[in-house]
Structure 1
């Protein structure tokens, strides 16, 4: 038998026994009810083409919560043509992950370039030079 830990609920802050979720029992029940509401709404044929804002307005479930359901795989957005959420970087509508493919490729290239630069600096024994900024707001007034 594993040792359970005490933790604070991510939503309400109540202390609870952490087992399989990051939420207390009351918040977990609320989340499950919200999921059921959204799922029932999307099952109706005429609602299959609703976007995330329309779904949120019709079900009174927040856009963030619906986005979490999609990201967690509880709602399969590919089954609903207009259901998606914005990329965290550029705002393009996506249906999985956090970044769109273009932003992901851009960030991956930047990270790769930084790692190669760091490796080069390590191999040559140099240190990364930081730009010297004359921060006048730290200087004492006369």
Structure 2
């Protein structure tokens, strides 16, 4: 059985005994109340087409926290056509992850291209070092 660890709350910064969440008890309770307000708002049929901004305005829950609920999977955004949050790179409305598919593909391509380039440069440097070692060896061998 593990003992609880001291940690700082991710919201308010207070020290607390971390057992199941990254938040102190007060912030956790507040977050759950916010979630209940959002869930109750979205349950109403007339609010199913609401955007994050509208939900935020009507429930007084920050858009950032609503996006957090969506990212955690506590709110299933696929059930709500206009509910989503901006891609971290381009700002396009998304419903899961941090980046939209096109930004993710672009970033993946850039990373793989950079890794290939780095591998190519390392191979050239390795070849240069080996040729320098060989020439140094033959110069020593010939007594020069």
| TM-score bucket (shorter structure) | 0.7 to 0.9
- Alignment-derived partner of residue 98 in structure 2: 98
Offset from partner CA, 1:108-135 (integer Å, 9 cap, x none): 0000001111111122216xxxxxxxxx
Moved more, 1-10 or 46-55: 1-10
What is the alpha-carbon distance in structure 1 between the residues aligned to residue 20 and residue 117 of structure 2?
41
Change beyond 3 A, Cα 1:122–1:3: farther
- Alignment-derived partner of residue 5 in structure 1: 5
- Alignment-derived partner of residue 59 in structure 2: 59
Q: C-alpha displacement at 1:20, in angstroms? A: 1.2
Q: Which runs of 5+ in 1 are unaligned?
A: 127-142
Q: C-alpha displacement at 1:3, in angstroms? A: 2.6
- Alignment-derived partner of residue 40 in structure 1: 40
- Alignment-derived partner of residue 79 in structure 1: 79
- Alignment-derived partner of residue 15 in structure 2: 15
Bigger helix fraction: 2
What is the alpha-carbon distance in structure 1 between the residues aligned to residue 111 and residue 76 of structure 2?
30
Superposition RMSD in Å:
0.9
Output the TM-score relative to the length of structure 1. 0.86
SS class of match (2:54): helix
Q: C-alpha displacement at 1:55, in angstroms? A: 0.4
Offset from partner CA, 1:90-114 (integer Å, 9 cap, x none): 1111101111111011000000001
Larger Rg: 2
What is the alpha-carbon distance in structure 2 between the residues aligned to residue 56 and residue 65 of structure 1?
9
